[in-house]
Amino acid sequence: MIKAIIISSFPDTIKLNKSLLFEARNILRSSSTYVLAYQMLKDKALIDSEEYILLGDSGDLNASLVFDNKVVKLPALYTKKGYYNIYLKNQVEYLKQAAKSMWVLSEEDSLDKLSLVSLKSNMDILYWNDYLEVWNKALDDINIQRTTSISTLIKILNSLTVENNSIILVLKKITQNTNFISVEDISSKVGLSSNNRNIVTSSYRGLIKSLAEYKKS
């Protein structure tokens, strides 16, 4: 009885508000699609890719002598190779997947060039924000070994006389992964104010200064 009353209260056909549907589609495309696409790409990359070793490579035997932490790793997605081979290579595909997964978007819908450009730009902002955050943390985790032992200090200084010593190897890795795009461009993409720009390079310079002071001591 109650079921019959409830069913009878609905009209035989429900007319869709096309303008509302169009507006909802545009809102979802402009905000949720790129967020979902980035999250899917990020989750897959973190599972499939091995971590990038910034400090603690097996080939650097003196790292534990020079630095006070054994290993510093970061996701391969946020390296130069990760940017080109993982992020850029799969960005469009994940945007298309995200668009199709939105219930309000019919399967016949496809991303036009203008929408794709906008979505890629917004997705880039998410990526570069994470890139800066990951590298800031990695740089903060690198600390020079402090010692009051003369014998230990001599060992450290001797290890730094070789061509590709521990400090040089780390600095090369930092440079390789933070100088392939202008920091000013990244700053503008992520909406950083002029007072907060050069996040990576400021940490990089701070590390270099610390290393220089250590070598003088």
**Tokens read off for 197:** 């720009």
Strand partners, 72: 55
Q: DSSP state, 53?
A: E
Number of H helices, E strands in the chain: 10, 2
Structural domain boundaries in the chain: 24-216
**Separation of first and last alpha carbons in the chain:** 90
Per the listing, tokens 């496809």 go with 110
Per-residue pLDDT, 127: 94
Q: Give the chain's length.
A: 217
Contacts by residues 67-71 (CB-CB < 8 Å, ≥ 24 positions apart): 67/142, 67/143, 67/144, 67/145, 67/166, 67/170, 68/143, 68/144, 68/145, 68/146, 69/141, 69/142, 69/143
Spatial separation of the C-alpha atoms in residues 29 and 34, rounded to whole Å: 8
Determine the Cα–Cα distance for residues 184 and 156; give it in Å rounded to an integer.
Answer: 37
pLDDT at 76: 96
Going by C-alpha positions, the residue among 78, 212, 204 that lies closest to residue 139 is 204
> Which tokens is 76 given?
């391969």
The residue type at 201: T
Q: Which helix (H) or strand (E) holds 117?
A: helix 113-140
Contact assessment for residue 142 and residue 72, using Cβ atoms and an 8 Å cutoff: yes
Residue given tokens 């985790």 in the structure block: 141
pLDDT per residue of the chain (217 residues) written in tens, 0 to 9: 554 544 455 555 666 676 766 666 665 555 688 999 999 999 999 999 999 988 777 556 566 666 776 788 999 999 999 999 999 999 999 998 888 876 555 544 566 777 888 889 999 999 999 999 999 898 888 877 776 667 666 666 666 666 667 777 788 888 888 876 554 455 455 444 444 434 444 444 555 555 455 445 4
Handedness of CA 116, 117, 121, 127 (dihedral sign): positive
pLDDT given at position 199:
41
